[in-house]
Amino acid sequence: MSTIAFTAGELPDEYEDLRRTVADFTDNVVAPVSESHDTAKTFPYEIVSGMADMGLFGLPFPEEYDGMGGDYFALCLAIEELARVNQSVAITLEAGVSLGAMPVYRFGTEEQKQEWLPMLASGKALAAFGLTEPGAGSDAGGTRTTARLEEGDAGSEWAINGSKAFITNSGTDITRLVTVTAVTGQREGRDGTAKPEISTILVPTSTPGFTAEPAYNKVGWHSSDTHPLSFDNVRVPEANLLGERGRGYANFLRILDEGRIAVGALAVGAAQGCVDESVRYAKEREAFGAPIGSNQAIAFKIARMEARTMTARAAYYTAAAKMLAGKPFKKDAAIAKLVAGEAAMDNARDATQIHGGYGFMNEYLVARQYRDSKILEVGEGTTEVQLMLIARELGL
């Protein structure tokens, strides 16, 4: 696809065609079953299969790996459209590509790419990114999971022990791979003191000793798959090291920077969904003999929701454009994640208020958006972490 270019806010044809296709799929396939999956807390395998058939999981990958030959912005557009109606489905795509397959594409050997990317790009299999630990959330450098090189029957092997927390797409029937960050030794820091050497290692989920523990009982994202993971002397070949040894910390920071743009897109979709539902309801619902949208208090609230959404969309578009142009984008990604996450939460709160008592009923989309949106101020870097990153990029 071509370089992102905007004229009066319009997308180039190839992006607009993709957006419309995903929007149609969202409205006609995802929307009708979203409430039932959310209520039953079931993973939407039939929706994921449909997304796979559309090639969404392969959007940013080259055709040589069975991808669609698109780019990261195309992925973001798809995620945004899905999140209008179902954040669980949107995060399944985001995590499956940005956190699951992208580390292999960015840092894998050609052999690793050939082994894993066609499977993951097809959407017939999912991968997860095992970073967060029970005692190391925002402090990702506090990793306690260890991986030691030991001699095994087939040569040198990594023996992995430890645990991970809040890992998306890690326990589905089609999950085949988890990329794990682990301490593989010690290195000398800039201040001369010993620091943990963190590396990333590919762990097939069929490996003995790997366990996806029972799924979490979450406030929202009920049809997204999220598990704690445990590693009990999990042994994989030395060749499963992903990227250079000791570069795991730096590599996953790059992955998280990219992921913040995609989560920003997801949050924009959620915010837009709240606007759409509120406009529809304000036109249909009557009180005191007139549609409630004729009440300036309601109209102005929705106007602010639209302004938040447009501002957040511009932020993630800007970050994506810089990323694709090869320019520094860390600050822009943090800003996109920050403003979009807050827009989603604020819009969900306002949409629930506009809907009154109906907004408190789970069968209404705005109620689900309200429950789902809070994690957008926490996952892939909290609001406070984004502020820290922005301040740091400003030299503060």
Nearby residues of 49 by Cβ (< 8 Å), 6 or more positions away = 123
Closest CA to 337 of 242, 250, 246, 268: 268
Side chain identity, residue 114: Q
**Residue tagged 């620091």 (tokens):** 195
3-state secondary structure of 157: strand
Q: Could you give the residue ranges of the DSSP H alpha helices within 108-228?
A: 110-121
- CA 141 – CA 377 distance, rounded (Å): 21
DSSP code per residue over 272-291: HHHHHHHHHHHHH-EETTEE
- Please say if 380 is a catalytic residue: yes
Closest CA to 394 of 332, 304, 316, 306: 332
Q: Exactly one of 277, 380, 384, 393 is catalytic; which is it? A: 380
Crossing angle, helix 248-284 and helix 296-324, to 10 degrees? 150
3-state secondary structure of 124: coil
- CA 343 – CA 7 distance, rounded (Å): 24
CB 161 within 8 A of CB 231: yes
Q: Any idea which residues carry the catalytic annotation?
A: 380
